[in-house]
Amino acid sequence: MSKEDYFIVGGVDVGSTTAKSVILDSNKKLLGKSLQNVSPRVAEDAETSFVKACKDAGIDRDQVFLVAGTGYGRLKVRFGKLVVTEISCHAKGSQFMFPNTRLTLDIGGQDTKAIRLGEKGEIIDFSMNDKCSAGTGRFLDVCAESLDYSLDDLGPVSLTATRPVNITSTCTVFAETEVSNQLARGRKKEDIVAGLHDSIAQRSLSLMRRVGIEKEITFTGGVSRNQGMVRSLENILNTKINVSPLSQWFGAIGAALYAIEEVKKGGEFVFEQLEVHP
């Protein structure tokens, strides 16, 4: 297939809690997308997500020339022929959507990544917190349950806080206990929620400092939908950060962009994993 031919590709990002899929054409136009909760049947969820994205794009899955998988469950994208690390994909998706991105912060369900980029999108360095769920979506989920909130409630609630509580625990289990103690002391729920967001922002700042703070920062992952988290990060960084309605799909978009590049190179599309070597 030549560089001038029109074709369609897919990108599937299988995380610990959700599977995100996008359909792009060879002109890098977004044709469709989907979001699917992940169960123990990861391979089935990845395929369901992909099929939904095809339906959203108004195409049959057979029209997709190449599918690239990424994320925690990328090897479960068995219908794909290309596998790319999530670090590479979030970096590529971030810079595609925000070309001046020099630092990507990805907060997902189970881990957090800080990725520093060069002017051409090359990965200069990265740091990752994957030892525990502190500072991730799971951290917020557990604390939301202890406060009788849904995960989607946390952002709007935190924006109403007047005196954020200082949450000192970084472990999810201990933080849950600290939340209960703060409630017993009569602290307002919204102030506790704001304190939880500030705690994650502080942990994220430490991660970003390891790779180097840059002027333009892009926020990706499911937690990027949380307005309170965006505010806490902007306050601690003292700058605006890039956030898009598509931020949760940046990993999938990056995977699809890699698929486009492979097709235009005329590769054999063998099932391979592209590793990152900063």
Confidence of residue 125 (pLDDT cuts 50, 70, 90): very high
Do the Cβ atoms of 50 and 242 come closer than 8 Å?
Answer: no
User: pLDDT tens across 236-255, in order?
Assistant: 999 999 999 999 999 999 99
**What pLDDT sits at residue 183?**
86
Does the pLDDT at position 278 exceed 50? no
Give the chain's domains with CATH numbers.
Answer: 8-91+248-274 (3.30.420.40), 100-243 (3.30.420.40)
Does the pLDDT at position 170 exceed 70? no
Q: What is the mean pLDDT of residues 29-38?
A: 96
User: pLDDT tens across 61-109, in order?
Assistant: 999 999 999 998 888 898 888 999 999 999 999 999 999 999 999 998 7
> pLDDT averaged over the chain?
88
**Residue appearing with tokens 């703060």:** 182
State both tokens at 32.
């469709």
Q: What percent of the chain has pLDDT over 70?
A: 90
- Residue 151: DSSP 8-state: G
Q: What percent of the chain has pLDDT over 90?
A: 63
Of the candidates 63, 61, 79, 9, which has an alpha carbon nearest to the alpha carbon of residue 252? 9
User: pLDDT tens across 185-200, in order?
Assistant: 889 999 999 998 998 8
Does the pLDDT at position 128 exceed 60? yes
State both tokens at 76.
């479960």
Look up the pTM and report it. 0.90
Confidence of residue 145 (pLDDT cuts 50, 70, 90): confident
CA distance 33 to 10: 9
**What pLDDT sits at residue 179?**
84
Confidence of residue 274 (pLDDT cuts 50, 70, 90): very low
State both tokens at 255.
């995977």
CA distance 189 to 174: 17
CB half-sphere exposure, 20, CA atoms < 13 A: 26
User: pLDDT tens across 211-232, in order?
Assistant: 999 999 999 998 999 999 999 9
Of the candidates 88, 82, 90, which has an alpha carbon nearest to the alpha carbon of residue 108? 90
Q: Which residue has the higher pLDDT, 258 or 139?
A: 258
Q: How many CB atoms lie within 10 A of CB 190?
A: 22
**What pLDDT sits at residue 276?**
40
